[in-house]
Amino acid sequence: MKKYVSLFGLLAIVLGVAPSFILDTPPRSFADEGMWTFDNPPVRLLKERYGFTPTQEWLDHVRLSSVRFMDGGSGSFVSPHGLVLTNHHVALGQLQKVSTPQKDYIKDGFYAHSAAEELKCPDLEVNQLISMEDVTQRVLAAVQAGMNDEAALKARKAEIAKIEKESTEKTGLRSDVVLLYQGSEYWLYRYKKYTDLRLVFAPEQQIAFYGGDPDNFTYPRYDIDFALFRVYEDGKPLESQNYLKWNAKGAADGELVFVSGHPGSTARLETVAQIETLRDLALPLVLQTLKRRRDVARQYAAQGPEQARQATGLIFGIENAVKGITGRYQGLLDKNLIGKKQKDEAGFRALVASKPEWQQAYGGAWDTIAQAEAKSREMTKPLRFRSLGWARLSSMADAIVRYVAEVKKPDGERLEGFHDSQLESLRFRLFSPAPVYPQFEEAQLTANLEYCREMLGADDPFIKAVLGGRTPGELAKEAIAGTKLADPAFRKSLVEGGEAAVQASTDALIVLARKTDPFAREMIKWFENNVESVETPAGEKIGKARFAAYGKSTYPDATFTLRLSFGAVKGYPLNGTIAPSKTTLYGLYDRAYSFDLKPPFNLPAPYMDRKSRLNLTTPVDFVSTCDIIGGNSGSPVINRQGDLVGLIFDGNIESLVGDYVYNEENNRAVAVHSAVIIEVLRNLFDAGPVADELEGR
Amino acid sequence: MKKYVSLFGLLAIVLGVAPSFILDTPPRSFADEGMWTFDNPPVRLLKERYGFTPTQEWLDHVRLSSVRFMDGGSGSFVSPHGLVLTNHHVALGQLQKVSTPQKDYIKDGFYAHSAAEELKCPDLEVNQLISMEDVTQRVLAAVQAGMNDEAALKARKAEIAKIEKESTEKTGLRSDVVLLYQGSEYWLYRYKKYTDLRLVFAPEQQIAFYGGDPDNFTYPRYDIDFALFRVYEDGKPLESQNYLKWNAKGAADGELVFVSGHPGSTARLETVAQIETLRDLALPLVLQTLKRRRDVARQYAAQGPEQARQATGLIFGIENAVKGITGRYQGLLDKNLIGKKQKDEAGFRALVASKPEWQQAYGGAWDTIAQAEAKSREMTKPLRFRSLGWARLSSMADAIVRYVAEVKKPDGERLEGFHDSQLESLRFRLFSPAPVYPQFEEAQLTANLEYCREMLGADDPFIKAVLGGRTPGELAKEAIAGTKLADPAFRKSLVEGGEAAVQASTDALIVLARKTDPFAREMIKWFENNVESVETPAGEKIGKARFAAYGKSTYPDATFTLRLSFGAVKGYPLNGTIAPSKTTLYGLYDRAYSFDLKPPFNLPAPYMDRKSRLNLTTPVDFVSTCDIIGGNSGSPVINRQGDLVGLIFDGNIESLVGDYVYNEENNRAVAVHSAVIIEVLRNLFDAGPVADELEGR
């Protein structure tokens, strides 16, 4: 039911995207809070706080100029010829895939001096939200009176699959049903899909991710974290009807700005019981797991420069996650935060209890969820570790084994990620020609097996079945040596051969996946029957209670679907002083020389050699009170006129608790300033043509 | 007994310098901790951690190159011709006093292009520590068996006064007996006094205190907070035998450095009961009082540019105190910190209790102190508010009334601050020709009276006696209109006329002081009899217990006497990332343009007009792990060779809890880099001759 974990539902559980059948709390004095759906923009707040009322035209233009990166991020159209702007770190996976031992575009950057030089990405999909339709009545009507929880869940899922399939067939658009307000509303989102994207410009990672892991999730900051792709359709650049005009002046201190993007997931409205599971079990385990994965990747990278190149993207991703999740975890350990959550929940429950009809209808939901959470906590380790997911090839093997089994079933009965409406995107990824590095795969598979054995114990049936007496190292060596899955044509032949071909395959990784698949299915089933089917209706009750008590005056938790945030460009109290609303190129050089140009504070060659060409007063990054979260990376920052003034790339360290609570005092969205992109394109890279296209010259 | 509050003992109580009959805790694994006396340098630690052993010659050279500013700060000789380096903010009081409505040296800075232009300071005294002598046996021998607490305290004080007087008469040097290790040791410190200091160079306050109140006590920082005086003797520049050689390269990241200066006061070894008094009563009241004083000064300053100029120094001082004390107070509210204190104390008490003879001799001391604290808490308001101290003239009137009464008594029976050995310094201040601004005096006196009435209630005998039915505004108006104390010659005539002249005086402020004096004396007496005489011997017992248990392996709490700190130049974890060990001029311009050059981030004209003359990679400020506290402002930072590499001007926000505990992880001393002083002298101010003198060219 949680669309945003779609394809890798189980992986998401392993990675700690915990069940979040979310609940609302009483309305707050909102401040610049909220990730609003485009059908319900914060009109009253905008008018009261900023005297601005967006027109429907404004909203449509912004929506259609925004795109979702299925690699996990956001972006926007920024020229009439299909140029799409996003972050370097959103583009990183593709940069890794188009790089070779001879051409390291992550390290050296990339600039296509002509259309012919634009570099096709192997497996990048972006989505543009074309329409939204409320299908709540239809989904809820699928549940018949007298059904038990399991049957009701099944009926809902079947109806959702049906809606999606019908829509896909009818419109040709990617069609996802999105659960909002914890099941009080279901919406059908239709997307135009683009899969031919070509790289136009990427700066060196050293400037895009300036300051490295230490500066990540912090501010003041000096990152020029952008990349430009061009969308092609039918082999030609897309003539994009909707795009954001570039405003190189940026936004002034205090100015109202908007962020249009795809926040991935928040847990602001979860019950205290659900948050306690995160705090006491899920997040510590996720952090431990990520750190182990990071160490494995670092060890591999330490073997030589080519190994380091291969592992760059993964190490970046894991370090990013470790720092981000650590911030969230620290937030949950803060007694004030959890105390506020407890107080809010108690107040809401008391309000519900004050009306007998509400108490009768909704009052038991919190305890129901708490009981399901208690059950899920006991199963934490099997749920998380009876599956493999570190090596790319073993994940693909799992997906292939599951694919051929699922597509035989009626659409409504399939596992999440394998519905008809989802298969095209899945195949696009599965058949990607991106390079695979067998030694890196082996190192990761070995470590994954060792870690699962450590977590579950050597006597766990999963471990016994998988290892069959061998050591993790032996098994991984055999499996990687004995697989042809690195070849996309082979993957395609298996999928097209269907269940017969997959069952008959002696490919070592497919054999391994056939052993792990039943355990994974058992865990998914257990989770559905014991947690999801219980918490979904309970969450719906809490959502209904909230609507009954307060009306629809708020925004739903994030679901990796398009949202509009708003706020002001504004500094904040920082470590005894105040952080400015923006930084300048002077500050980039200060940070560099403060650390004597030592990594990660060194500067790429153009910044040293061509420094005199730069106007050092140019703003680099800036902050606003816009309410964002992971997934918003690459989102445009837009002014009242609908022009682009910046590019979201991060939140400050104080924003990490934004998973649970928004704090206007010091939660800040960090963006690249529109001026610095033009400044470096023109003066450091002689990329005038791209700058001209952006500026509409 | 607390030399460093000397002259204004009662004022110090009002300002929250609480009684600190301090106690040691068990030795820690020291890290770079400690404000060591020069007779007991941390030889073992320096050898173990840095492989360095200072020679006696090195120690003597550093000590004799260091000076104490009686305005409240530190400094050092930096040329063979008497140049003394300190902070601009230590010099600020004198800059205020030598400025006029026509020449605002605080705002515009000052540079004496020749000896003739050097500007004589009205009442600046600096001290150079010539010798230290252990007089513990003599002081303790003054207490006879069978004396009660009050008698013992009196006997000790009389003996100390005698030692000081003898020494002054014999050597002509300023002679202070200093209580160390909470009475386990008494030392006679002899100082050479210099009172003819002339201003040579001061930058604009805007660059010295760059970033203003927001950036105060924080880092990264870009303050060029220095000032240069020249010491004269017999009308000629002092030929200083000891001075620090200037090393414009500064210290490298990780390098061992030392700070030689005069930390004012710490409370690291106070009992939990004493710290709780600070937390629950003293600090909140002090903050409230300071904020009221600040508001009064700001209101006055808002009347016009000349009023603003008059109030600059005071507002700076109060804002500085508010921010610093707020940091300390926040530290005390931290449950971890207070928890650690409680644990340390419990452990030490258990150790004492484990030996019957220790328990017998020392075990009761903690409860004794706790009882005295409980008593003092009940008297907090009368102790703090039955006296006036905001207006400069009313403080002088108090001092004059007390002076003529005290000098009639035997030296050993006088109030602290009025012993023979102290009178010369007191007269130097009392007869200062520094300007007085009557309207500012009236505003402060009015507000002071209003505030005391608010705190004590209109029926308090002090308030009734002082106001005599008038309003605070009426009284203050009359008092300021009816006083001639602004004239230093009149002050001198009163002091020289003795008690008869003062009793006969109809000067309105002297009349007022005669009314307030009995109340102040009563409170001093009450505090001596009920707190000081009880806590002094109890503190001594705890000190003795510590020596018995652990030996003399540590340093005493700060007492505004010369100390040596050591540490490494080193960044630290900051708000999710790392702070560099130094900043550069690039960063100064970044901060300026980040805030669009708005105050307090604007730049003085030379920094705008002559920017191209500067090498922007020049380091501005740097941090080290050296353990410092208020009073260390202006201290030299010294390398192994004994050369000057920097100038302490602040601690970071994390260092403010240093009053109670030193934390090597993020407690940092902030210093101006030796390079930037030369850079701006030569390139912005054409002050080559001064730079040459500093660099020994």
Q: Hey, is the C-beta of A587 within 8 angstroms of any chain B C-beta? A: yes
Cβ distance B595 to A580 less than 8 Å, yes or no, reads: yes
d(CA A284, CA A326): 9
Q: With 70 as the cut, is the pLDDT of residue A248 above it?
A: yes
User: Are β-strands A572-574 and A563-568 bridged in parallel, bridged antiparallel, or unpaired?
Assistant: unpaired
Which chain A residue has the Cα nearest residue B616? A590
Contact A402, A389 (CB under 8 A): no
Confidence class for position A121, pLDDT limits 50, 70, 90 = very high
Mean pLDDT, rounded, of chain A = 93
pLDDT band at A21 (very low <50, low <70, confident <90, very high): very low
- The pLDDT, as a whole number, for residue B30 is 63
Instruction: Identify the residue whose tokens are 């050699």.
Output: A609
Residue A27, pLDDT > 70, answer no
Token look-up 């974890």 returns: B573
- What is the pTM assigned to this prediction? 0.92
pLDDT of residue A30: 62
For residue B4, is pLDDT > 70?
A: no
d(CA A276, CA B366): 42
**CB contact (8 A) between residue B590 and residue A587:** yes
Residue B3: pLDDT over 60: no
- Please report residues of B whose CB lies closer than 8 A to that of A575: 218, 574-575, 653
Question: What's the token pair of residue A172?
Answer: 């040709």
Position A10 confidence tier, pLDDT thresholds 50, 70, 90: very low
Local structure of residue A245 (DSSP, 8 states): P
Q: How far is CA B118 from the centre of its chain?
A: 26
Amino acid identity at A535: E
Calculate the average pLDDT of chain B: 93
Cβ–Cβ gap B595/A616 under 8 Å: no
Which band of pLDDT confidence, cut at 50, 70 and 90, is reported for residue A26?
very low
Interface contact B593-A584, CB threshold 8 A: yes
Query: With pLDDT > 70 as the criterion, what percentage of chain B qualifies?
Result: 96
User: How far apart are alpha carbons A26 and A351 in whole angstroms?
Assistant: 10
Using the Cβ of A324 and the Cβ atoms of chain B, whether some distance falls under 8 Å is answered with no
Residue of B nearest to A570 (CA): B595
**Alpha carbon of A72: minimum distance to chain B alpha carbons (Å):** 24
- CA A373 to chain CA centroid, nearest Å: 24
The confidence band for B6, taking pLDDT boundaries of 50, 70 and 90, is very low
Among B75, B425, B11, which Cα is nearest to B225's? B75
pLDDT for res B547: 85
Q: Considering only the beta carbons, identify the residue of B323, B575, B587 that sits closest to A590.
A: B587
Which residue is closest to B211 within chain A, CA to CA? A577
Helix (H) or strand (E) holding B315: helix B305-333
Residues in chain A: 697
Q: List, in sequence order, every residue forming a beta bridge with B133; answer none if it has no partner.
A: B188
A379 burial type by CB count under 10 A (0-12 exposed, 13-18 middle, 19+ buried) = middle
What gap in Å lies between CA B174 and CA B95, rounded to an integer? 26
Long-range contacts: A549-552, Cβ < 8 Å, 24+? A549/A26, A549/A348, A549/A351, A549/A352, A549/A358, A550/A24, A550/A26, A550/A27, A552/A40, A552/A181
A261 Rama sector, left if φ>0, alpha if ψ -120 to 50, beta otherwise: beta
ipTM of this model?
Answer: 0.91
Helix (H), strand (E) at residue A138: helix A136-141
The pLDDT, as a whole number, for residue B19 is 27
Q: What's the average model confidence in pLDDT over A626-639?
A: 97
pLDDT value, residue B392: 95
A617 touching B, CB under 8 A? yes
Q: Which of residues 218-247 of B touch A (CB under 8 A)?
A: 218, 220
Whole-angstrom Cα distance, residue A215 to residue A209? 9
- Contacts (Cβ under 8 Å, ≥6 apart) of A101: A306, A309
Closest CA relative to residue A4, chosen from A91, A74, A62, A92: A74
- Using a CB-CB distance cutoff of 8 angstroms, which residues of chain B are in contact with residue A328? none
- Span B623-652, average pLDDT: 97
At residue A446, what is the residue type?
A: T
Tens digits of per-residue pLDDT, B85-131? 999 999 999 999 999 999 999 999 999 999 999 999 999 999 999 99
- Whole-angstrom Cα distance, residue A516 to residue A518? 6
Q: Which residue has the higher pLDDT, B527 or B6?
A: B527
Residue A553, pLDDT > 90, answer no
- What is the rounded distance in angstroms from the CA atom of residue A287 to the CA atom of residue A289? 5
Chain B residues within an 8 Å CB radius of A576? 217-218, 323, 327, 652-653
Reading the block at residue A212, the tokens are: 């490295």
Report residue A73 as tokens.
Answer: 């991020």
Nearest C-alpha in B relative to A577: B214
Q: How far is it, in rounded angstroms, from Cα A578 to Cα B600?
A: 11
Spell out which residues of chain A touch residue B581, defining contact as CB-CB under 8 Å: 594
Residue A215 sits at the chain B interface (C-beta within 8 Å): yes
Q: From A212, which residue of chain B is nearest by alpha-carbon distance?
A: B577
Q: Which residue of A has its CA nearest to B323?
A: A576
Q: A580 CA to chain B: closest CA distance, Å? A: 6
- B217: which chain A residues are within 8 Å (Cβ-Cβ)? 576
Predicted confidence band at B7 (pLDDT cuts at 50, 70, 90)?
A: very low
CA atoms within 13 Å, Cβ hemisphere of A589: 28
| DSSP codes joined into one string, B473-512 | HHHHHHHHHT--TTSHHHHHHHHHHHHHHHHH---HHHHH
> What is the spatial distance between Cα A564 and Cα B296, in angstroms, rounded to a whole number?
46
Three-class secondary structure of residue B134 per DSSP: strand
A483 touches chain B (CB under 8 A): no
End-to-end CA gap in chain B = 46
Chain segment A568-597, per-residue pLDDT in tens: 999 999 999 999 999 999 999 999 999 999
- Cβ within 8 Å, pair A575-B211: no
Report the largest interatomic distance among the alpha carbons of chain B, rounded to a whole angstrom: 76
| Contacting residues for A163 by C-beta, under 8 A, at least 6 apart | A135, A138, A139, A175, A177, A188
Summarised one tens digit per residue, pLDDT across range B352-378 is: 999 999 999 999 999 999 999 999 999
Q: Is the CB of residue A623 less than 8 Å from the CB of residue A652?
A: yes
Q: pLDDT band at B25, cuts 50/70/90?
A: very low
Torsion of CA A266, A636, A94, A606, to 10 degrees: -130
CA A92, A417, A455 angle in degrees (round to 5)?
A: 75
**Minimal C-alpha gap between B59 and chain A (Å):** 32
Task: Report the candidate in B430, B399, B428, B420 with the shortest Cα–Cα distance to residue B520.
Answer: B399
A24 — pLDDT class (breaks 50, 70, 90): very low
Express each pLDDT in A489-527 by its tens digit: 999 999 999 999 999 999 999 999 999 999 999 999 999
Q: What pLDDT digit, counting tens, does each position of B259-274 carry?
A: 999 999 998 888 999 9
Q: How far apart are CA A277 and CA B471, in angstroms?
A: 64
Comparing CB atoms, the residue among B253, B576, B590 nearest residue A590 is B590
Chain B residues 425-444 within an 8 A CB cutoff of chain A: none
The percentage of chain A sitting over the pLDDT mark of 70, rounded to a whole number, equals: 96
Is residue B513's pLDDT more than 50? yes
Mean local confidence (pLDDT), B626-636: 97
Q: In this structure, what token pair is assigned to residue A136?
A: 């709540």
DSSP B418-477: -SHHHHHHHHHHHT------HHHHHHHHHHHHHHHHHHH-TTSHHHHHHHTTS-HHHHHH
In this predicted structure, what is the pLDDT of residue B183? 80
Cβ-Cβ contacts under 8 Å between A and B: the total is 86
Q: What is the pLDDT of residue A678?
A: 98
Say yes or no to pLDDT of B2 above 50.
no
Residue with tokens 């029976």: B413
Residue B672 and residue B650 in contact, taking contact as beta carbons nearer than 8 Å: no
| DSSP label of A246 | B
pLDDT in tens, B656-684: 999 988 999 999 999 999 999 999 999 99
Orientation angle between helical segments A438-456 and A392-406, nearest 10 degrees:
80
- Which token pair is A650? 């991060």
The first and second tokens of residue B112, run together, are 């004496």
Q: Could you give the C-alpha distances from A621 to A86, A257, A588, A668, B595, in angstroms and in order?
A: 15, 15, 10, 12, 13
C-beta atoms of A590 and B584 within 8 A = yes
CA separation for the pair B635, B418 (Å, rounded):
29
Smallest CA–CA distance, residue A579 to chain B, in Å, is 9
Cα–Cα–Cα angle for B415, B633, B607, rounded to 5 degrees? 140
Q: Which of A328-332, B308-312, B670-674 has the lowest mean pLDDT?
A: A328-332
Confidence of residue B136 (pLDDT cuts 50, 70, 90): very high
Mean pLDDT lowest among A338-352, A640-654, B248-262: A338-352
B 630-669 residues with CB < 8 A to A = 652-653
Q: What is the pLDDT of residue B546?
A: 87
More confident residue, B551 or A448: A448
Task: Say how far apart CA A266 and CA A651 lie, in whole Å.
Answer: 14
Name the phi and psi angles at A359, rounded to 5: -60, -40
What distance, in Å, lies between the first and last C-alpha atoms of chain A?
46
The helix/strand/coil state of B399 is helix
| Inter-chain CB proximity B593 and A617 less than 8 Å | yes
